[in-house]
Amino acid sequence: MNSLTNKQRRYLRSKAHHLQSIFQVGKQGVTDELAKQLCLALEARELIKMNVLNNAEVDAKEAAELLEEKTGAEVVQTIGNVIVLYKMSEKNPTIQLP
């Protein structure tokens, strides 16, 4: 997958601003099951916001890198304990990147 440009990242950050977090990385860390569920959600939504809990064994940056590897998604941003991921849907892409 091609890396996102700064303009595309800005656009995705603005779209993600209003999203609710739908996943959490807990004390189990980034598991294969979490990655599998995340792949399904990314196919349906393309843009996802998630939290890394304080008791997680990894911080947000580490979790973002692991999730990027396991899901093939792009990390749009990490702020504090929040990660925003993007992956274009293979079946029904809805987000048009600038």
Q: pTM for the complete prediction? A: 0.91
CA proximity to 28, closest of 66, 1, 2: 66
> Under a CB-based contact definition with an 8 Å cutoff, are residues 67 and 85 in contact?
yes
Predicted pLDDT at 70: 94
6-86: CATH class: alpha beta
Angle, in degrees to the nearest 10, between helices 60-71 and 32-45: 70
Q: How far is CA 46 from CA 10, 91, 95, in A?
A: 16, 11, 7
pLDDT: which is higher, 1 or 38:
38
The pLDDT tens digits of the residues spanning 26-50 come to 999 899 999 999 999 999 999 999 9
